[in-house]
Amino acid sequence: MAQIHEPHHVSEGTGGRHMLGPHIVGQRVVVRRVVRGETGPSGGAALTDLLGVCTAWGDDACVVQPETGAPVRIPLADIVSGKPVPPRPSVRQRVPPADAQRRGFALFADLETRSLGGWVLRRSPTAAARRANSVLAFGPAGVSDAYDEVVAFYDAHGARPIAAVLPGSEEEALFRDHGWGLESHDADTVFQLAAVSQASRSLRGVGSDAVEVALDIAGHQATARLMLDGEQVGGGVAAYADDWVGFRSLEVAPAHRRRGLALVVMAELLDWGAERGATTAYLQVLGDNEPALALYARLGFREHHRYRYLAR
């Protein structure tokens, strides 16, 4: 059961007390405020409501960023009432996991896929990533001999049969009933989504005069090379498809980490995707990679689903 907490701060405004204060920075809020110089229907002061994310709280004013338009500075003395409100339900979060995973196929240029009912057999001649060399078994296959076909497909290509499944699903039970187990000791993979607009705002101003990011574009893919004094010290890959932009292989050489350079790479790739019309960004990270999860959370990424790999 969820716990109910008392508000951290109660402030005084024109109309009395409200549950707003410095603790709401970063939260979605609704604020009722006085509109100076205007008269309401009853002859008193005009009031208006503003819904958005509080981005700053000072001694005499707060700043609220609406979903569209410029930030609004509100004098604290003009606040009549207000409260935090739940985040707006995201349309992208309602996309089924299997559909979200299919968007990720674009990240591998030479990915070969074959439908097996509701499943997808995946194979890449060059990429070693498991998501490019496993069956995507999210939901029923609808094919009576689907398991045997999976094994036969990967055996025919001299590859180890691997299945990507949702934890606790009937598909996981099916493969485990055939003696399969976890493919590795890795934690479950977290598939995360963010609005491109929010991630772009969070990355605004990220950069370094000491490094340069070169982009190599090939069709719907962009490969970033992070260059320092003529040497490549990091990089990453992005792919655009159906108004989504995804990322993989974001990395920086160990000697140059903890300087925010991975964000420089991501900012360049995100801009590239936005220029092509992407509105949703996605990436995948292991569930026990706390530093990465915290970093991506600050950019607006939220968990969409988790999955794991099983192997024969």
Cα dist. 159→128, 130, 183 in Å?
Answer: 11, 11, 13
pLDDT of the residue at 17 = 58
Question: What does the angle CA 185 – CA 139 – CA 171 come to, to the nearest 5 degrees?
Answer: 45
121-169 pLDDT, tens digit per residue, is 999 999 999 999 999 999 999 999 999 999 999 999 999 999 999 999 9
pLDDT of the residue at 89 = 60
Site of tokens 């994310």: 53
Q: Model confidence at 15, in pLDDT bands (50, 70, 90)? A: very low
Q: Of all helices (H) and strands (E), which one includes residue 191?
A: strand 189-195
Helix (H, G, I), strand (E, B) or coil at 152: helix
DSSP string, 156-196: HTT---EEEE-TT-HHHHHHHHTT-EESSSPPPEEEEEEEH
Q: What is the mean pLDDT of residues 286-307?
A: 93
Q: Looking at the domain that runs over 191-307, which CATH code has it been given?
A: 3.40.630.30
SS (H, E, C) 248-263: EEEEECHHHCCCCHHH
Q: Model confidence at 90, in pLDDT bands (50, 70, 90)? A: low
Instruction: Indicate if the pLDDT at residue 254 is higher than 50.
Output: yes
State the Cα–Cα distance between residues 130 and 164, nearest whole angstrom: 9
pLDDT of the residue at 8 = 39
The model scores a pTM over 0.75 = no
Instruction: Indicate if the pLDDT at residue 29 is higher than 60.
Output: yes
Written as six digits, the tokens of 54 are 């509080």
231-251 pLDDT, tens digit per residue, is 999 999 999 998 999 999 999
Q: Decide which of 2.30.30, 2.60.40, 1.10.3470, 3.10.20 is the CATH code for 11-84.
A: 2.30.30
Residue range(s) occupied by CATH 3.40.630.30 in the chain: 191-307
Residue range(s) occupied by CATH 2.30.30 in the chain: 11-84
